[in-house]
A and B are shown apart, each in its own frame.
Chain A
Amino acid sequence: MTEKAVELKGVYKAFKTGFTMKKVEALNGVDLVINKGEVFGYLGPNGSGKTTTLKLIMGIIHLDKGEIKIMSKSPNDISIKEIIGFLPESPYFYDYLNAVEFLDFYARLFSIPKAIRRDKIRRLLKMVGLEKRAGESLRHFSRGMLQRIGIAQALINDPEIVFLDEPMSGLDPLGRAEVKEIIQGLKRDGKTVVFSSHILPDVEAIADRVGIIVNGKIRDVGDLDKLLSKRVSFVEVTVFGLDRDMLDPLKGKAKVKRILGDRIVLLVEGVENVDAVIDYIRFCEIGIESVEPIRMTLEELFLSETKGKSK
C-alpha cells in the first residue's frame, strides 16, 4: 500500500478582507492525498488557493476547519519541520547576508554541526549553480538567483518532503531545466516533492500526479497518465487507397484532417465512433496504416477544468 506523505481532509480557510472585514473563502473543503516518493504538481489559476494550501501545510496560517497531516503529524508539531523543506513564492530573503551566511543561518536552525554545515552549503551552492557567487550579498542577486538560493535553503536539512511554491517562476529556460533536474534528482533519492506551477509543460515533464484546484476546490487529482489518457480528444486513423467520395457514409463520424499522397488522415470525433469508422474501412477493403488516439495535453485538461470556473 502506498504510504501517505501529506493528507488534507475537508480543509477550509477564509480570510477577512477590507474595512468591512468581508469573509473571502480561499479553500472550501479541500481533500488531497500526496503519496510518499512522488512528484506532485499542484495546478490552478491565480487566486485558486494553491499558495493558501501550501501555507496551511507549512503552518504559516492556521486552519479554520478540517485536518492536515504530514507523515501522520500535525503541521504545528515542530518535529515535523525537521523533515520538510519549503520554498515560498517570489521569495525575499535577508539581503544583508551573503549566500554562505544565508544558508548557514538556516542550517543552524536545524542544529547541524559546523563541519557538516560547511560541506552541505558548498554542495548546495554547486547544485544550484551559485558557487561562484558564494560571498556575494543577496542584495545583488537577480530574481532567478534568489529562486536558486531559495531552493538551496529548502534542501539544507536534506528533507524527506519538499514543498516548492512556483519554483520555476522568474527563471530562464536554462534555470527551469536545472530546477527540473533538481526535482527529478530528489525523486531519484526517494524524496516527496510537492510543487505548484503555472508552466504546464514543466509540470507535464516532471510530475507523477497532479491536482487541479479552482476556486478553493479540487477539480481533479490523479496520475498524470491516467488523467490525460481518460481524456482522448479524438482518434487519428491513417488509411491508404481511399477515394474521397467513399467518405460520405462517414459524415458526422470522421473528417479528413490531411492528405499525404495516397494516404488520408481521418479525424474521428469521439471514441464511440472509432469502431464504426474502422468497420466501414474494413468493409471497403481499404488498408489501415495506423490508429492513434490523440490524448489531451495537460494544458488542454487544465483549460477545460478551469474555463469559466475561475473567479
Chain B
Amino acid sequence: MKSFIKKIWVITLNTFKEAVRDRILYSIVFFAFLILILSTIMDVVTIGQRAKIIQDMGLASISIFGALIAIFVGIGLVYKEIDKRTIFTIVSKPVTRYQFLLGKYFGLVLTILVEVLAMGTIFLALVYYTSGYINPRLFAAIGLTFLELMVICSVAVFFSSFSTPILSGMFTLGIYLIGHMTRDLYEFSAKLEGTFLAVILKILYYVFPNLDNFNIRAQVVHELPIDPKYFFYSVLYGLLYITLLLFVSSIIFTKRDFK
C-alpha cells in the first residue's frame, strides 16, 4: 500500500514541477493585480458597501481564476503525455495506468491548491486592509471554492484521458457553466413534468456536477446563517463526484491504446 501511494506521489510531484517550471504560478501575480485594480475601482464607485463587494468579488475571482487554470492546465495534462509519447516510458515501468492518472490529477490539484492559497492570502490581506478584520467564514468559503476546483480538475482529467485538448477544453468549460445552472435545469424540468424534455433535463441535472453546492459566497458576505449539515453534505458530494469521475477515467484510460 505504501509503495502504491508513493508511486502516485512521485507522479504528483512531477506534474506539479511541470506546472511550476511552465510558469503557471505566475498567474498569481496577475490575480494580485486584478484584485488590486478591482478594489481601487470599488473604492470609487461604491458607497458604504465596499468591504462586502470586495469580499464577494474576491471570492468570485478566486473561483473563476482557479477554474480557468484548472481547465487550461487540466485538459492537456494527460493528452500531452500521449502526444509527446512520454507515457510510453511510464507504462513500461511498474506503475499502473490508474496510478498514473491519479498522480496527474493530484499534481493538478496540488498546483491549484498553491494557487488558491496564494490568491486566498492576497484576498484576505486586502479584506483586512479595507475592513480591519477577517470574517472567519471566509476560510470556509475559500475551502469550498477549492473543492469546486477539485471537481473541475477531475472533469478536465476525465476528458483529457480520451479526448483532444480543444474538445476537452470546450466540454470542461461547458460543464463548468452548466454546473452553475443545474438548479435551473431541475426547476425547468419540474415545469415540463411529463414531457421527454423533462426527462432529459433531469438526467442532465444528476449527471452534471452541481457546482453551486460549493458556493456560499452570498451567505458569508451578507452574514446569513449556514447549516453545518450543508457544509458537510457539500464536501461529501464533491468527494463522491470526484471519486466516481476518476474511477470512470481510470477505466477508459486503462483500456485505451497509446499510438
Listed in ascending order, the chain A residues whose CB lies under 8 Å from chain B are 15, 55, 58-62, 78-79, 81-82, 84-86, 88, 90-94, 96-97, 101, 105-106, 108-111, 150, 153, 157, 163
User: Given A62-B255, A111-B3, A93 and B88 touching (CB < 8 A)?
Assistant: no
Given A85-B92, A109-B90, A111-B6, 4 more A-B residue pairs with CB atoms under 8 Å apart are A15-B257, A88-B85, A96-B18, A101-B17
Please state if A88 and B93 are interface contacts (CB–CB under 8 Å): no
Closest to A56 in B: B257
Please state if B3 and A81 are interface contacts (CB–CB under 8 Å): no
* B229 interface residue (CB < 8 Å to A): no
How distant is A209 from chain B, measured CB to nearest CB, in Å? 23
Please state if A94 and B22 are interface contacts (CB–CB under 8 Å): no
Closest to B97 in A: A59
How distant is B233 from chain A, measured CB to nearest CB, in Å? 37
Contact of B18 among A15, A94, A110 (CB under 8 A): A94
Among A81, A109, A150, A163, the most chain B Cβ lie within 10 Å of the Cβ of A109
A96 and B107 CA atoms in complex are apart in Å by 15
Please state if A86 and B92 are interface contacts (CB–CB under 8 Å): yes
> Which residues of chain B in 85-115 are interfacial with respect to chain A, using CB atoms and an 8 Å cutoff?
85-96
Please state if B18 and A81 are interface contacts (CB–CB under 8 Å): no
Q: Can you list 25 residue pairs at the A/B interface with Cβ under 8 Å?
A: A15-B259, A58-B88, A58-B92, A59-B92, A60-B92, A62-B255, A78-B94, A81-B94, A81-B95, A86-B88, A86-B92, A91-B88, A91-B89, A93-B89, A96-B17, A96-B18, A96-B22, A97-B17, A105-B14, A108-B7, A109-B10, A109-B93, A109-B94, A153-B89, A157-B93
A92 and B3 CA atoms in complex are apart in Å by 27
Please state if A110 and B94 are interface contacts (CB–CB under 8 Å): yes
Number of interface residues of B (CB under 8 A): 26
| Residues on the A chain within 8 Å of B90, using CB | 109
| Residues on the B chain within 8 Å of A157, using CB | 93
Please state if A88 and B7 are interface contacts (CB–CB under 8 Å): no
Closest to A59 in B: B91
How distant is A284 from chain B, measured CB to nearest CB, in Å? 65
> Which residues of chain B in 1-36 are interfacial with respect to chain A, using CB atoms and an 8 Å cutoff?
3, 6-7, 10, 14, 17-18, 21-22
How distant is B235 from chain A, measured CB to nearest CB, in Å? 32
A111 and B2 CA atoms in complex are apart in Å by 10
A105 and B10 CA atoms in complex are apart in Å by 7
| Residues on the B chain within 8 Å of A94, using CB | 14, 18, 86
Map CB proximity to A onto B57-93 as digits: 1 under 8 Å, 0 otherwise: 0000000000000000000000000001111111111
* B258 interface residue (CB < 8 Å to A): yes
Among A59, A93, A96, A157, the most chain B Cβ lie within 10 Å of the Cβ of A96
Q: Chain B interface mostly helix, strand, loop or mixed? A: helix
| Residues on the A chain within 8 Å of B85, using CB | 88, 90-92
A62 and B21 CA atoms in complex are apart in Å by 34
How distant is B115 from chain A, measured CB to nearest CB, in Å? 18
How distant is A35 from chain B, measured CB to nearest CB, in Å? 21
Contact of B92 among A79, A84, A93, A111 (CB under 8 A): A84
Among B89, B95, B258, the most chain A Cβ lie within 10 Å of the Cβ of B89
User: Given A60-B88, A94-B14, A110 and B93 touching (CB < 8 A)?
Assistant: yes
How distant is A196 from chain B, measured CB to nearest CB, in Å? 14
A111 and B10 CA atoms in complex are apart in Å by 10
User: Given A78-B94, A110-B94, A88 and B88 touching (CB < 8 A)?
Assistant: yes
| Residues on the A chain within 8 Å of B93, using CB | 81, 106, 109-110, 157
| Residues on the A chain within 8 Å of B17, using CB | 96-97, 101
A78 and B3 CA atoms in complex are apart in Å by 13
Closest to B20 in A: A96
Please state if A61 and B94 are interface contacts (CB–CB under 8 Å): no
| Residues on the A chain within 8 Å of B255, using CB | 62
Contact of A58 among B3, B18, B91, B94 (CB under 8 A): B91
A165 and B7 CA atoms in complex are apart in Å by 26
A55 and B91 CA atoms in complex are apart in Å by 10
A15 and B93 CA atoms in complex are apart in Å by 24
A197 and B14 CA atoms in complex are apart in Å by 32
| Residues on the A chain within 8 Å of B92, using CB | 58-60, 81, 84-86, 163
How distant is B98 from chain A, measured CB to nearest CB, in Å? 11
A85 and B96 CA atoms in complex are apart in Å by 16
